[in-house]
Amino acid sequence: MKLHVLSRLAVAGAFALTAAMAPISLVAQGTATVLKAADAQKLLPSSVYYKAQSAPSQLRNSGGLKFSDGYYVLATLVDTSGYSSDVAAKYQAYFISEVPIKIGSRSLPAGVYGVGFIGGNKFVVTDVGAHDIFSVNYSTDEAIKRPMPLQFMANPAGGYRLYEGRKYVVITR
């Protein structure tokens, strides 16, 4: 009889612990605040380093996310006119993530990257040395009413979208 009571208590205790931990995991995932260019440009540098060069960032074309735990994901378009055509073709924006995220189905560790929407329906992520890390397919949103050169928006299915015009990728944490 004592064994039966102890096993019931163990099950009840495990259930209570699981229930108590659920709000903590929900808070850790949290929601993010979408930053407009005016907010993001306060955090971004006026020039950025990529492939042994410094280039001016287009702070008017920037945006980001601030997660509920205070970490950021930021992006700004970059003036790539001084880069070779092969680099400029895939490097359009400077991308900073203070936490690991997912872009599409691919995991990206915290860090500083170059990103771009390129031909073949691809969004490419490179390190600051211009070495490809990965690419994912991007989607196109024909319904967007006012496309911007770069912006973040909430994704109706969860997560957030990083847009370049009507092209976008989904970012989740």
Q: Are residues 43 and 21 located together in one domain of the fold? A: no
Does residue 98 share a domain with residue 14?
no
pLDDT of residue 3: 46
- Dihedral angle over CA of 115, 118, 122, 125, nearest 10: -20
The answer for residues whose C-beta is within 8 angstroms of residue 88's C-beta and 6 or more apart is 80, 81
* Claim to verify: residue 59 and residue 11 sit in the same structural domain: no
Can you count the helices (H) and strands (E) in the chain? 3, 14
Q: 64 and 97, same structural domain?
A: yes
67 and 7 part of one domain:
no
Q: What is the pLDDT at residue 30?
A: 59
100 and 142 inside one domain: yes
Paired tokens of 22:
């659920």
Domain that holds residue 77: 32-172
What does the alpha-carbon distance between residue 22 and residue 3 come to, in Å, rounded to a whole number?
29
Q: What is the Cα–Cα distance from 159 to 173, expressed in whole angstroms?
A: 7
Tell me: do 124 and 91 sit in the same domain: yes
- Tell me the C-alpha distance between 32 and 154, whole Å: 9
Tell me how far apart the alpha carbons of residues 60 and 46 are, in angstroms, rounded to a whole number.
11
Question: Is 163 found in the same domain as 86?
Answer: yes
Domain count within the chain: 2
In this structure, the answer to whether residues 7 and 71 fall within a common structural domain is: no
**In a shared domain, residues 41 and 17:** no
Q: Give pairs for 74-80: CB < 8 Å, separation 24+.
A: 74/35, 74/40, 74/43, 74/44, 75/40, 75/115, 75/150, 75/152, 75/162, 76/40, 76/41, 76/44, 76/48, 76/150, 77/149, 77/150, 78/48, 78/50, 78/114, 79/55, 80/55
Q: Tens-digit pLDDT profile for the chain (173 aa)? A: 454 444 444 434 444 444 444 343 333 445 899 999 999 999 999 999 999 999 999 999 999 999 999 999 999 999 998 889 988 889 999 999 999 999 999 999 999 999 999 999 999 999 999 999 999 999 999 999 999 999 999 999 999 999 999 999 999 99
CA triple 115-117-75, angle to 5 deg: 40
Q: Phi then psi for 71, rounded to 5 degrees?
A: -85, 155
- Of 66, 77, 29, 52, the C-alpha closest to 127 is 52
